A and B are shown apart, each in its own frame.
Chain A
């Protein structure tokens, strides 16, 4: 199983505008400068492609940090 740290690094690579090392497990991703709905689409596509878990807009809304996302993905996979 992928660790939280690996998950964070892999997700960070999906964004074209976020510098390496910006994302940590505790990052409240909504506070990242320039965070937009496009970033949300990238998160959903990343999770769907890598973990076969499709998050709805409502589910995504319930998360704040990368760790929340990670936990939600594996909670849904169970």
Chain B
């Protein structure tokens, strides 16, 4: 029987500082009239990274937690994948720095990749390839986001949505029924500007102009040095593309929706997920969400939700679970796992 890649264990780490809805309404008192509509977003509090904390710091803490909680020897890791959008240096690769900080062996491969909300699913795809085609045994996938640092202080829309977090997932080779199955991926680079930090990279260096406030048609404020998300367009994209993605993936597996025990979507916000759920005719019981106390944690949202689903026994060994990520890029990806 050929060895298959499967998700062996997950741990996550949240920074200490918490930004609650009470804090939010205190800072943006004009939004109180919209409180009832905002409750549809499904977030009550988010964790915010400390000033001196980096995405790699959160990732290291999540990995240390993973090793401790699951009695994993770092020397057994033979490949490290670091998925983030905020890296320590222009060069070298942050995963190389993390290899040393985690005391991983020097015969361990290390690779960064830059993706947001679809990143976990892409990471599972790379890990599956490394295990089933390249001969790796234990791939450590670290997803981390400190996006709140790139949110304009006056951006009330995004500051309501996003929280910081990191997650460590161990993907190993095995011969039980647990398995990461096939994938569907997608990209729409033409819509790259829908979710973008325009200035600060190679194309547009930071200038004074980068900090000039931009006010959108709804009165929301950002600037080119910070994240600019065209929320209405992203919503339309999500409710169109994600059902297509799910249907494509199910077709690939010759499965029907009824054969999936649980759906876990990227926790963009509850309103998006509920709209997608209704479009797919899924009952509420078939979808597990976890965002109330963490917000949208970008690439860590799916593994955090999976972890919590396992913790509260909504997901158990042997279950068939569909995972779907979508967001910045625009980029999307989905897979089916047997837990």
Chain A residues within 8 Å of B, Cβ to Cβ = 15-17, 30, 33-42, 44-45, 48-49, 54-58, 60-61
16 A-B pairs with CB atoms under 8 Å apart are A16-B40, A17-B33, A17-B37, A36-B37, A36-B220, A37-B216, A37-B218, A37-B220, A38-B34, A38-B41, A39-B37, A40-B218, A40-B232, A44-B232, A44-B239, A61-B217
Question: In B8-49, which residues have CB < 8 Å from any A CB?
Answer: 30-31, 33-41
Residues of A within 8 A of B38 (CB): 38
| Majority SS at the chain A contact face | helix
Residues of A within 8 A of B157 (CB): 36-37
B230 within 8 A of A: yes
Interface residue tally on B, bucketed by range? 20 to 34
Residues of B within 8 A of A56 (CB): 233, 236
Residues of A within 8 A of B235 (CB): 41, 44-45, 57
Residues of B within 8 A of A36 (CB): 31, 34, 37, 157, 218-220
Q: Are B236 and A55 in contact (CB under 8 A)?
A: yes
User: Contacts A15-B37, A38-B37 known; A57 to B233 CB distance under 8 Å?
Assistant: yes
Which of B200-208, B251-259, B271-279 makes up part of the contact surface?
Answer: B271-279
Residue of A nearest to B229 (CB): A37
Residue of A nearest to B216 (CB): A37
Q: Are B275 and A16 in contact (CB under 8 A)?
A: no
Residues of A within 8 A of B41 (CB): 38
